[in-house]
């Protein structure tokens, strides 16, 4: 019943804001446009279409707001008026009452807000689908003052998210059972991954831990700043971190006037992304412009400032190596190797013919090389690859859904900063160096160095472990052969003993005879 009522609510919001009319008017067929006029009768749809779409997504809740945030970065796929409105979802979702935020902070720390902060700004500086942020001044135990940002979880989020996720699970089950592509697309697994990420985002202590990890990973790169976390003031509903001062990355003209090298900024964004993905296997997976600023401070001028760490992606060593080899093969236009990797990884059936998959991938990708980013839509490339994958029964990998989403965000960000950015040539040297580090002598030395203490520990016990393993796992035939060998060995030992005793007797007999002969002579 909850799913039914939630579904009814979604339908009501669609009709209330005229999204059905918005879809119908996008078609060129005259009869569909006529139908759009008919269904709009009696409804006030004078507001601009982008505003209606934004307000509908806000009304539907955080999952739909997240969807709008992703769409806002794809100006190549969306009309400008809609993209501009959806950009407001990045950090301008209507805030909740500051009195509720204060009550949440006091409940979390079990003391009045005046005892926690020397100063607290009631007006939020940013408000998003999951939480909102207030600036404050923190006095720590040593009496030092710190300018901080206080992130407070939006109240009542869990029930809303659970309703939407329940509806998504039901729809995913329908797709998996009724669609011919259901098993290949793995919709239930994808929804389960999305479920994990959203629930992780509702725990601000987990977000603080993500921020601390990213800060350690990025310390030596000198391209991005991550705020310091004040751990004494972190709670599941409240997170206190260093206040970062920067210019939103979407304000390109302001950054250009301040002297920031915009093309370099675009290249640095690609470097940061590939470093986090392939070197660390731990990447910021919510990189829309509302979460990224640029520092104008002289000490860190031109560096990225990364914010909002509720959603991060992780990759295993297998995923990293497989993806890196795929990217490298793509950049080298080695489509045969791409096809072989898909088969080796088990993403396509083993009976797939390499030459057919190679030809299909070449047909999709070859037209897009040697073009600047402004002439390429990575979204369209992925769409065509997706269409091609149906023919070869390629299985969707749920653990890589976040990576695909983040890659689209990076492309949208690069398009805003520098339309002439060549994503391929920027990433290729990094990936080739990474592959050399992973597969060359340095990797062997690292593995030996890391595993040496382990080997030193087990080496003395290796003979005993081998003996125990053979005793436990020998096959019956091997056991019989071993018993037979043991019997033969015992028989041989007895024979040797008899020969030895006989030989000794013979030698002793000779000695005795010699003694007797000498006695008779004398």
Q: What is the pLDDT of residues 213-239, one digit of tens each?
A: 999 999 888 899 999 999 999 999 999
Query: Quick check: 175 and 187 in contact, CB under 8 A?
Result: yes
Task: Give the C-alpha separation, 337 to 356, whole Å.
Answer: 13
pLDDT in tens, 77-99: 567 777 778 777 765 677 889 99
- At residue 10, φ and ψ (nearest 5 deg) are -60, -45
What value does the mean pLDDT take over residues 479-483? 61
Look up residue 233 and give its DSSP letter.
G
Q: Which helix (H) or strand (E) holds 238?
A: strand 238-242
Q: In whole numbers, what is the pLDDT of the chain averaged over residues?
A: 76
Q: What average pLDDT does the segment 476-504 reach?
A: 60
Enumerate the domain spans of the chain.
2-89, 98-258, 259-439, 441-473, 474-522
**Listed residue (191, 184, 182, 172) closest to 347, CA to CA:** 184
The number of beta carbons lying within 10 Å of the beta carbon of residue 179 is 12
The predicted-structure confidence for 26-70, as pLDDT tens digits, reads as follows 555 565 556 656 655 556 667 887 888 888 887 877 777 766 766
d(CA 134, CA 9): 32
Residue 515 to residue 176: CA distance in whole angstroms: 102
Task: Indicate whether 205 pLDDT > 90.
Answer: yes
Q: What is the C-alpha separation between 240 and 142, in angstroms, rounded?
A: 17
Neighbour tally for 236: CB within 10 Å: 13
Using CA atoms, how far apart are residues 323 and 313, in angstroms rounded to an integer? 14
What residues are labeled active site? 286
- Residue 128: strand, helix, or coil: coil
Tell me the residue ranges of DSSP E strands in 415-458. none
Length of the chain: 522
Q: Residues with Cβ < 8 Å from 75, sequence gap 6 or more?
A: 83, 412, 415, 416
Backbone dihedral angles phi then psi of residue 333, each to the nearest 5 degrees: 60, 35
Cβ of 363: how many Cβ atoms within 10 Å?
Answer: 12
pLDDT at residue 211, rounded to an integer:
95
Biggest CA–CA distance in the chain, Å, is 149
* Best CA proximity match to 138, nearest among 230, 246, 244: 230
Q: How far apart are CA 311 and CA 334, in angstroms?
A: 33
Contact 340, 259 (CB under 8 A): no
Q: pLDDT tens digits for 379-432? A: 566 556 656 666 777 665 655 667 777 777 777 777 778 877 776 677 777 777
Could you tell me which residue, 170 or 457, shows the higher pLDDT?
A: 170
Residue 423 contacts residue 414 (beta carbons within 8 Å): yes
CA angle 249, 152, 226 (to 5 degrees): 40
Which tens digit of pLDDT belongs to each residue from 300-356?
Answer: 999 999 998 988 888 887 777 777 777 777 777 888 888 888 787 777 778 888 888
């Amino acid at each position: 019943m909850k799913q039914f009522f939630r579904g009814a609510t979604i339908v009501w919001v669609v009709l209330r804001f005229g999204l059905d009319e918005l879809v119908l008017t996008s078609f060129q067929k005259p009869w569909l446009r006529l139908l759009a006029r008919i269904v709009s009768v009696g409804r006030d749809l004078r507001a601009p279409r982008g505003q209606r779409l934004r307000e509908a997504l806000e009304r539907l809740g955080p999952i739909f707001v997240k969807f709008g945030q992703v769409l806002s970065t794809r100006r190549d796929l969306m009309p400008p008026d809609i993209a501009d409105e959806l950009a407001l979802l990045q950090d301008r979702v209507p805030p909740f009452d500051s009195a509720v935020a204060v009550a949440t902070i006091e409940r979390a720390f079990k003391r009045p807000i005046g005892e926690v902060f020397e100063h607290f700004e009631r007006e939020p500086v940013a408000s998003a689908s999951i939480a909102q942020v207030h600036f404050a001044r923190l006095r720590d135990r040593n009496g030092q003052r710190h300018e901080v940002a206080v992130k407070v979880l939006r109240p009542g989020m869990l029930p809303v998210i659970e309703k939407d996720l329940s509806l998504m699970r039901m729809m995913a089950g329908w797709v998996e059972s009724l669609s011919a592509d259901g098993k290949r697309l793995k919709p239930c697994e994808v929804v389960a991954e999305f479920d994990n990420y959203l629930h992780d985002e509702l725990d601000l202590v987990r977000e603080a831990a993500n921020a601390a990890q990213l800060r350690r990973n990025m310390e030596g790169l000198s391209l991005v700043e991550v705020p310091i976390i004040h751990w004494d003031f972190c709670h599941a509903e409240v997170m206190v971190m260093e206040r970062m001062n920067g210019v939103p990355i979407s304000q390109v003209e302001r950054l250009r006037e301040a002297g920031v090298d915009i093309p370099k900024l675009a290249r640095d964004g690609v470097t940061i992304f590939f470093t986090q993905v392939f070197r660390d296997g731990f990447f910021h997976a919510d990189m829309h412009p509302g979460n990224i600023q640029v520092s104008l401070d002289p000490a860190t001028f031109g560096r990225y400032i990364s914010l909002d760490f509720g959603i991060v992606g992780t990759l295993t060593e297998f995923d990293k190596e497989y993806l890196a080899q795929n990217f490298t093969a793509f950049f080298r236009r080695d489509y045969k190797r791409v096809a072989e990797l898909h088969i080796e990884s088990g993403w396509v059936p083993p009976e797939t013919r390499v030459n057919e998959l190679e030809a299909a991938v070449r047909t999709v990708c070859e037209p897009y090389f040697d073009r600047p980013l402004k002439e390429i839509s990575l979204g369209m490339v992925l769409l065509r690859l997706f269409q091609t994958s149906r023919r070869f029964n390629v299985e969707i990998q749920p653990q890589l859904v976040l990576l695909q989403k983040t890659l689209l965000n990076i492309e949208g960000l690069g398009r805003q900063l520098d339309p002439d950015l060549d994503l391929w040539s920027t990433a290729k040297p990094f990936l080739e160096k990474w592959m050399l580090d992973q597969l060359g002598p340095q990797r062997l030395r690292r593995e030996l160095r890391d595993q040496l203490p382990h080997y030193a520990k087990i080496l003395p016990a290796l003979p005993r472990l081998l003996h125990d393993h053979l005793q436990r796992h020998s096959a019956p035939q091997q056991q019989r052969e071993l018993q037979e060998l043991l019997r033969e060995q015992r028989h041989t030992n007895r024979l040797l003993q008899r020969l030895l005793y006989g030989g000794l007797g013979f030698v002793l007999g000779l000695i005795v005879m010699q003694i007797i002969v000498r006695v008779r002579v004398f």
